[in-house]
Amino acid sequence: ASSSSVRLLSYETLVHAVAGAMGSVTAMTVFFPLDTARIRLQVDENRKSQSTPIILAEIAKEEGILSLYRGWFPVISSLCCSNFVYFYTFNTLKRVMVSDRSKPSTDLLMGFISGAVNVLLTTPMWVVNTRLKLQGAKFRNEDLHQTHYKGIFDAFSQIIANEGVGTLWNGTLPSLVLVFNPAVQFMFYEAMKRRISSFEIFLIGAIAKAIATSATYPLQTVQAILRVIPSI
């Protein structure tokens, strides 16, 4: 029992979790306007734009340049917690399940379990941050109504009081299906990093992520809509 506790609370596992969280926070901060455009197009079906630069220009013109970073803090907070949970769980499982050399099937299983744990624990944060990110947006779709949250905790409080605690887990099912995205990505990552250089790992990882994201984009759209539509 003590050996399992040491593995669970190891310094190495904590370092991996913090590094994964900080890496994702840095990347999201740099590309946050692109994520703003993505979620706006997913949720506001009446918005017609030809390209990402056009949608970004429209948002900046109609709502101000700072609107491209609306909801940055709740998104970053959620992303930090989410990736900390994922990497901590993944590396804990890796220490417990892998004795010498990992197999692709084991990496896939660890990735899926880590993703499922992450979804179940952090979906409420993603529901809140999605709504905060869209608060104040000028929707083209009249069916989308504005929310009036004062912040993260007020959003939690209003959602629970007005829509029920279950609403905080809206979009859980598509999120669980989307777990296969990072699970497959990590399976290839763990396999490739034993054989090739860091740059090649980065390149292959980027290509794999692009393919996985493109393939699951419709499900991501459903996920975003379920998170933002009030359950009333």
Q: Give tens-digit pLDDT for 76-112.
A: 988 888 889 888 888 888 888 766 566 777 878 888 8
In angstroms, the CA 9 to CA 91 distance is 11
Residue pair 113/66 in contact (Cβ under 8 Å)? The answer is no
Amino acid 1: pLDDT: 46
In angstroms, the CA 100 to CA 109 distance is 17
In angstroms, the CA 165 to CA 203 distance is 41
Q: Give tens-digit pLDDT for 28-41.
A: 888 899 988 888 88
What dotted CATH number matches 2-228?
Answer: 1.50.40.10
Window from 14-23, 113-122, 130-139, 182-191 with minimum mean pLDDT = 182-191
Q: Find all residues with CB under 8 Å of 33, minimum gap 6, and list them.
A: 56, 68, 69
Window from 79-88, 133-142, 188-197, 200-209 with minimum mean pLDDT = 188-197
In angstroms, the CA 41 to CA 18 distance is 32
Nearest-CA neighbor of 115 among 177, 192, 46?
A: 177
pTM here is 0.72
Nearest-CA neighbor of 112 among 193, 63, 182, 202?
A: 182
Q: How many H-runs (helices) and E-runs (strands) does the chain carry?
A: 10, 0
Amino acid 97: pLDDT: 76
- Separation of first and last alpha carbons in the chain: 47
Nearest-CA neighbor of 117 among 185, 172, 181?
A: 172
Scanning the structure block, which residue is given the tokens 């991501």? Answer: 220
Task: Calculate what percentage of the chain has a pLDDT beyond 90.
Answer: 17
Mean pLDDT of the chain: 81
Instruction: Give residue 9's pLDDT band: very low, low, confident or very high (50, 70, 90).
Output: low
